[in-house]
Structure 1
Amino acid sequence: MKLGDGVEAAIHCAAMLAGVDGDGTLPGNVMAVAFGLSPSYLLKHLKALTGARILESVPGPNGGYRLARAAEKITLLDIVLAIEGREPAFRCGEIRQKGSYALDPSAYVKPCGINVAMLKAERAYRAALAETRLSDIVADFNATADQRIVAASCAFVALNQRPQNSKQRLINERKMP
Structure 2
Amino acid sequence: MRMSEGVEWAVHSCLNLAWLGEERAVPAAKLAAFYELPAAYLNKQLQALARAGIVASTSGPRGGFRLARPPEKITLMDVVAAIEGEEEAFRCTEIRRRGGSDSGERNGPPCAIHTSMRKAELAWRRELASQTIAGIASTVEDHSPAAPERVRRWFGDTRT
**1:150-161 superposed matches below 5 A:** 150-157=148-155, 159-161=156-158
Deviation at 1:152, TM superposition (A): 2.8
Deviation at 1:97, TM superposition (A): 2.1
Partner of residue 79, structure 2:
79
Q: Does the 8 Å CA contact 2:57/2:64 hold for their aligned counterparts?
A: yes
- Partner SS for 2:12: helix
Structure 2 letter corresponding to 1:86: E
1:60-99 residue pairs with structure 2 within 5 A? 60-98=60-98
Give matches, 1:1-177, under 5 Å: 1-98=1-98, 100-106=99-105, 109-145=108-144, 147=145, 149-157=147-155, 159-161=156-158
Letter in 2 for 1:72: E
Cα separation, 1, equivalents of 2:22 and 2:82: 24
Q: TM-score, normalised by structure 2?
A: 0.91
Q: Which residue of 2 aligns with 1:170?
A: none
Give the gaps of 5 or more residues in structure 1: 163-177
Give the letter aligned to residue 153 of structure 1: V
Cα distance in structure 1, aligned partners of 2:65 and 2:78: 17
The superposition leaves residues 18-42 of structure 1 with CA deviations (integer Å, 9 ceiling, x where unpaired) of 0123521111011111122111111
C-alpha contact (below 8 Å) 1:26/1:160 kept by paired residues: no
- TM-score normalised by the chain length of structure 1: 0.83
Residue identity opposite 1:152 in structure 2: R
Q: CA RMSD in A?
A: 1.8
SS of corresponding position for 1:57 = strand
- Alpha-carbon distance in 1 for matches of 2:15, 2:78: 13
CA deviation vs aligned residue, 1:87-137 (integer Å, no higher than 9, x gap): 111111222223x41325525611111111110011111111111111000
1:17-68 deviation per Cα after TM superposition (whole angstroms, max 9, x unaligned): 0012352111101111112211111111100000000000011100000000
Contact 1:58 / 1:65 at 8 angstroms: preserved in 2? yes
Secondary structure of 1:49 counterpart: helix
SS of structure 2 residue aligned to 1:106:
coil
More divergent stretch after superposition (5-14 vs 105-114): 105-114
Contact 2:72–2:132 under 8 Å retained in 1? yes
The aligned amino acid for 2:96 is: R
- Helix, strand or coil for the counterpart of 1:111? coil
Secondary structure, in 3 states, of the residue corresponding to 1:60? coil
